[in-house]
Structure 1
Amino acid sequence: MGRSTQLRPNLAKIGKEQAECLELRLEGLSFRAIADQTGIPLATVHERVTAAITAEVSPLAEQLRAIECERLDLYLTRLKVRIDKGDTHAIQTALRISERRSKLLGLDMPQRIEANLETHELTKEDVALQELIREAKAKNAETEAALRAGRDEDLP
């Protein structure tokens, strides 16, 4: 019996494409221009750039958060003696440090916002405007589809 081979992604090739696509994007090329230059499909170019950014930027952000937290800890350690003595200025500074840490780590609860919604009757002008907007969106979608498919002759 023959053994079926499952296609596996070539990780080295993907990594090379990610680096190349990101470099070209950082040089200011559009996704379409990168696709044209590299011969990689447009959707794949977008995937490669997104993956490269995620792989390179996210870990750096985490490292920077950790460094900033260590710095805030150092500030609090230096303030401890003054805080223990009841120095109100040191206590206020410590509270600001704590607020900064909460923002940095996303610990604050989302703010609740109350909104009152006023409704009004739709006028003929409102309905006509909504129809114009729908038509414009449909035309935009057609143009975008033609551009993505590379069909210049279908463009308005």
Structure 2
Amino acid sequence: MGGNNPQSHANNAQIAAEQSECLQLRLEGKSFRAIAAATGLSVATVFNRVEAAIALEINPKAEQLRAIESERLDVYLDRLKVRIDKGDTHAIQTAIRISERRSKLLGLDMPQRIEASVESREVTQQDIELAELVREAKAKNAATLAQLRAERDAEPW
């Protein structure tokens, strides 16, 4: 559709350049608002360019590795096909393990449910003191989180 349009290639190149520039400025500690002023882009566009640049840095490498591993699994299955078709149980078991590996690799497995039970026992002074320490730590963490959120929200884009 627009992939062969020279204008779309120029736009893609421009967007890539903007992503790189916005990410670099953000890494230098600039606010989104400051980056917008420096680049002439809107604050929302700067935010989108930074997010996209980060995604381009992280996700493709993992996706590339998944694709390579998936191709390897395809090769293994292809090599087993003749033996599987003949009913070779060892080859079938190997194919099942390959399939299980692919499911894990691609995140296709359902989450496992774990049943847990708790035995009731006498509460000791040590249990009470530990529970108090946990409550104090949670309160401290909540206060720190609230402070960090307030600082983030106060930051000018």
Q: How high is the TM-score relative to the length of structure 1? A: 0.53
TM-aligned CA deviation for residue 62 of structure 1: 1.9
Distance 1:125 1:51, change over 3 A: farther
How far did 1:60 drift?
2.4
CA separation of 1:73 and 1:123: change in aligned 2, threshold 3 A: same
Q: 1:117 to 1:83 in 2, by over 3 A?
A: same
Extract unaligned runs of 5+ from structure 1: 1-10, 23-37, 42-46, 150-156
Contact (CA 8 Å) 2:77, 2:98: kept in 1 or not?
yes
Verify the 8 A CA contact 2:84 2:92 in the aligned structure 1. Answer: yes
Equivalent pairs: percent with the same residue? 65
Matched, 1:40 2:30: yes
Paired residues in the alignment total 118
**Contact 2:19–2:53 at 8 Å: present in 1 too?**
no
Q: Which residue of 1 aligns with 2:55?
A: 54
Deviation at 1:139, TM superposition (A): 5.3
Q: Report the Cα distance in structure 2 between the residues aligned to 1:121 and 1:50, rounded to whole angstroms.
A: 52
CA distance in 1, matches of 2:83, 2:140: 67
For residue 87 of structure 2, give the secondary structure of its aligned residue in structure 1: coil
Q: What is the rounded CA distance, in whole Å, between the counterparts of 2:78 and 2:126 in structure 1?
A: 65
Q: Which residue of 2 aligns with 1:103?
A: 104
Q: With structure 2 as the length reference, what TM-score do the two structures score?
A: 0.53
Read off the aligned partner of 1:115 and give its amino acid letter.
Answer: A
The answer to whether the Cα contact below 8 Å between 1:79 and 1:90 also exists between their aligned partners in 2 is: yes
**Amino acid in structure 2 at the alignment position of 1:61:** A
**Alpha-carbon distance between aligned partners in 1 of 2:75 and 2:144, rounded to the nearest angstrom:** 57
Displacement of 1:98 in angstroms is 0.9
Q: Which amino acid counterpart does residue 68 of structure 1 have in structure 2?
A: E
